[in-house]
Amino acid sequence: MSFLTVENIVKDFGGLVANNNISFAIEEGEIIGLIGPNGAGKTTLFNCIVGYHRPDSGKVTFREKDITGFKPFETNRAGIGRTFQIMKVTTGMTVLENVMVGSFCRTNDRNTARGEALHVLGDLALDAVKDYYINELPIAIQRKVGLARALATKPALLMLDEVASGLNPTEIEEVVELLRRLNSAKKITLFLIEHIMEMVMKVSQRVIVLDYGEKIAEGLPADIVKNENVIKAYLGEKYAQGL
C-alpha cells in the first residue's frame, strides 16, 4: 500500500466535472508535482483529498487508512497539511499567533506551542516579521507564513497550492531550496500544484498532469515535457522546443 492512494475520484459541480475518475499513488518521501491549465481541476483534487469537498465517488487512502469523506480538520490531524492558492489576507492575528495556532494542533500548552512556532519561524527565516499582521506583509512572505502555519501542525504530507506564484526568480529559488530541505531533512512528502514550469520540473521527482478534469499523463519530468498530450493541452510547442 502506498503512502497516499487516490482511486477513481469523481467530483461533479452540477454538470461541470472538475475531477473525472482520477487515480494515482504517492510514496513516502516523494516530491510530486501536479500541473494543468487553468480550471483543469487541480485545486478541486486537493480539496477532495483533504476533505473540503466530498468526492462524488472514489476513495482516498492515507497511511493505510481510508480518509474519504473526512473533514479537513480530521485529515490534518491524520497528518496532511495544506496551503491555499489564495491566502486570505487577515488582520486579526500576528504571524507568530498564526503559526501558534498551527502548533496548538499538537499540544494544549501555550508555551510549548509558542516554542514550536518560534522554531518553525526561525527555520523559514521569518523571525523578523513575527509580530506583523498578515495584511502588512508582501505576498511572498504571506505565502511563507501560510507554509509555516501548515508546517507547525507537523504534517507527514504537505500539499502546496501554487506557493511560488507571484514570486520573483530569486524568491522562487529560495522556495525550491526550502522545499528540498523540508523533504530531505524533515522527511516530509510534498505534493505541489505549480504553474511555473521551471520550478515544477526542477523540484519534482514525478509529475501528474490534469486537463479538463482528467489525468492525461503521469511520469518523470523529462518524459512529461515530451509527452504529446501534455504539450497539446498545456505546454505549447514553444516550451517543448526550448528544452
Partner 1 sequence: MEKLKDALNFSDFSKAERIGLIIFSVFLLTFPWIGAGSFTTTVMIQFLLFSLFGMGWNTIGGYGGQVELGKAQYVGIGSYTVALMMVWWKVPFWVSMPIGILIAVGYSFIIGYPLFRLKGHYFAIATICTSLVLKDIFDNWNLVGAAKGIELPIHDHPDFLYMQFKSDTYYYYFIMALFYIGLFYMNWFRKSKLGYQLRMIKDDENAAESLGIDIRWCKIKAYSIASAFVAVGGGFMAVYNLYIDPASTMELSLSIKIALMAMLGGAASLWGPIIGAAFLVPLDRFLGSWLGGQKGLTGIDFMIYAGLIMIVSAYQPRGIWGIIEQFRKRGH
Beta bridge partners of 138: none
Is 132 a binding residue for partner 1 by CB under 8 A? The answer is no
Is residue 212 part of the contact set for partner 1 (CB under 8 A)? Answer: no
**Which of 73, 131, 229, 236 contacts partner 1 by CB under 8 A?**
73
E strand or H helix at 95, and its extent?
helix 95-103
3-state DSSP assignment of residue 189 = strand
Binder to ligand ATP among 36, 51, 55, 146 (CB under 6 A)? 36
Asked whether the beta carbons of 10 and 21 are under 8 A apart, the reply is yes
CA-closest candidate to residue 120, choices 136, 108, 106, 133 = 106
Cell digits for 226? Answer: 515530451
Contact between 149 and 102 under an 8 Å Cβ cutoff? The reply is yes
Residues 22-51 that bind partner 1 (CB under 8 A): 50
Among the listed residues 1, 38, 111, 237, the single contact to ligand ATP using CB under 6 A: 38
Query: Total number of residues binding ligand ATP (CB under 6 A)?
Result: 12
Which of 4, 6, 9, 18 touches ligand ATP (CB under 6 A)? 18
Check binding of 76 to partner 1 (CB under 8 A).
yes
For Mg ion, the binding residues in 73-92 under the rule CB under 5 A are 85
CB 11 to partner 1: min, Å = 17
32: left (phi over 0), alpha (psi -120 to 50) or beta: beta
User: In 51-75, which positions are buried (b, 16+ CB within 10 angstroms) versus exposed (e)?
Assistant: bebebeebebbbbeeebbebeeeeb
50 binds, among ligand ATP, partner 1, Mg ion, none (CB under 5 to 8 A by kind): partner 1
Does residue number 43 form part of the binding site for Mg ion (CB under 5 A)? yes
Binding mask 83-112 for partner 1 (x = CB under 8 A): -x--xx-xxxx---xx-xxx-xx--x-x--
Looking at 40-92, which runs of residues are DSSP E strands? Answer: 57-62, 65-66, 80-82
Residues that bind partner 1 (CB under 8 A): 50, 52, 71-73, 76-77, 81-82, 84, 87-88, 90-93, 97-98, 100-102, 104-105, 108, 110, 113, 146, 149-150, 152-153
